[in-house]
Structure 1
C-alpha cells in the first residue's frame, strides 16, 4: 500500500507539472489559440488524474495545487490566480468529475448486471 501511494503521488505530481508548465509556456508564447490549447491540456490532465486507482480525488487536488506556482510565476499573482481558478474549473469539474463519474457508473453497472443476471 505504501509503494502504491508513492506511485500515485509521483503520477499526480507529474500531471500537475505537465498542466502548469505547459499552460505557462503557452501563455508566454502568446499563441493565437492559446485558450483552446489550455482547455485541452486541462481536459487531458483531468482524464489522466481520474485513472489513479486509490484516493483519486485527493491526488487530483494535489495535482492542481502542484500546478499553481507555474500559473503565478508565468502571469503574476493576480492574473495567475484568475487563470488557475479557470483551469481548476475545467480540470476539476469538466474533466476529472465527468471521467471519474463515468468510470464509477460503468463499474456499478457491470456489478448490478452481474448480480441480476449471474448464471
Structure 2
C-alpha cells in the first residue's frame, strides 16, 4: 500500500473515538498522518493541531466532523487540493460533495477503518 499522506480532520485523543482509531490504523498501515482537532494534544506521536495549518502534499482528507462543523473547513480543504476526501459514517454532506467535485477532488463515502482493514485504502 503506497503512502498516502492523510489529514484526519476532527481528530481526538480519546481512544474510544473513531478518529483516534483511524490515526492508529493509518500509522499501522505505514501512512503519513497529520491531524486537526479541538484540543492541541498528541496520538501515537502525531500532533493534533487546532488551527488550519497549510499542510503540503495531502493525498487524502478523512472527515470526522458533522456536516454543520465542516462548513468552517470547506475553503481550507479545497485549498489543500487533496486527491480525495473520505466522508466517514455520520459525516455525509451533499452540499460539500458538489464543491469538492467542482474542484476535481474525489468524494468517497466510506469508512477509513474498513478501507484500511480490507487493504483498499
Structure richer in helix, relative to its length: 1
**Higher relative contact order structure (alpha carbons within 8 Å, sequence separation ≥ 6):** 1
Which of the pair has more CA radius of gyration? Answer: 1
Length-normalised TM-score, structure 1: 0.29
